[in-house]
Chains A and B, each alone.
Chain A
Amino acid sequence: DTEVTQTPKHLVMGMTNKKSLKCEQHMGHRAMYWYKQKAKKPPELMFVYSYEKLSINESVPSRFSPECPNSSLLNLHLHALQPEDSALYLCASSQEPPAAGGTGELFFGEGSRLTVL
């Protein structure tokens, strides 16, 4: 199994709603990531979990709250989002966590397309 699975594929929410995005991988990877991608732009790193612990937060607003329940699962909890948060949210995983001096292959999921009204 070389897949990263994300649900839901599409999500529409109001600014007062609370919702969650989910990600799952069964490759035994020790690092999992959340990226945000706006139309016609490259992915932007949001969070990195290494061995189930949050290791990197790219100064993301607190209305985005990540969670790693176990080594295979990654969630992104959404609350009080703004319309400008509408984007494709990508989950990724890698065999080992990123570290200065070396980077490994990232496996991306298909993404969750979020629309905030």
Chain B
Amino acid sequence: GENVEQHPSTLSVQEGDSAVIKCTYSDSASNYFPWYKQELGKGPQLIIDIRSNVGEKKDQRIAVTLNKTAKHFSLHITETQPEDSAVYFCARGGGSNYKLTFGKGTLLTVNP
């Protein structure tokens, strides 16, 4: 199927440290992997995405890596700041399914 497993479910780091969230998927035809940040009381916001023809993508303090062979992708946030505190959702798309399949989310807390 198109399940997405996301770990950890909660993550607490000190300001300035790095945070890593990992997702695995099962559908080998998946070709699109976005990450969404959802702050309390707001809608999800796309922060970075990667397609299957690329192994890594970086945007300032945020990077995503994709290992198609192992079917996993990860979000890396460096130099974390309190405003990075939010719920982060990974997702996958493509293949025989028309819709995005979301992971269960990771609550990231950055302590000042």
Interface positions, chain A 66-107, Cβ under 8 Å from B, are 90, 98-107
Q: Contact: A45 with B32, CB < 8 Å?
A: no
Interface SS of B by simple majority: strand
Q: Contact: B94 with A40, CB < 8 Å?
A: no
Interface positions, chain B 44-58, Cβ under 8 Å from A, are 44-46, 49
In angstroms, Cα B103 to Cα A42, docked, is 7
Q: A101-B95, A102-B31 are in contact. Are A108 and B45 (CB under 8 A)?
A: yes
Q: Contact: B46 with A105, CB < 8 Å?
A: yes
Q: Contact: A100 with B32, CB < 8 Å?
A: no
Question: CB within 8 A of A109: which of B43, B95, B99?
Answer: B43
Question: CB within 8 A of A42: which of B34, B49, B96, B104?
Answer: B104
**Chain A interface residue count: which class?**
20 to 34
Q: A41-B104, A42-B103, A42-B105 are in contact. Are A103 and B94 (CB under 8 A)?
A: yes
Question: Which of B31, B98, B102 has the most chain A CB atoms closer than 10 A to its own CB?
Answer: B98
Q: Contact: B31 with A111, CB < 8 Å?
A: no
In angstroms, Cα B104 to Cα A50, docked, is 27
Is B67's beta carbon under 8 Å from chain A?
A: no
Q: A98-B98, A99-B98 are in contact. Are A110 and B32 (CB under 8 A)?
A: no
Question: Which of B31, B44, B93 has the most chain A CB atoms closer than 10 A to its own CB?
Answer: B44
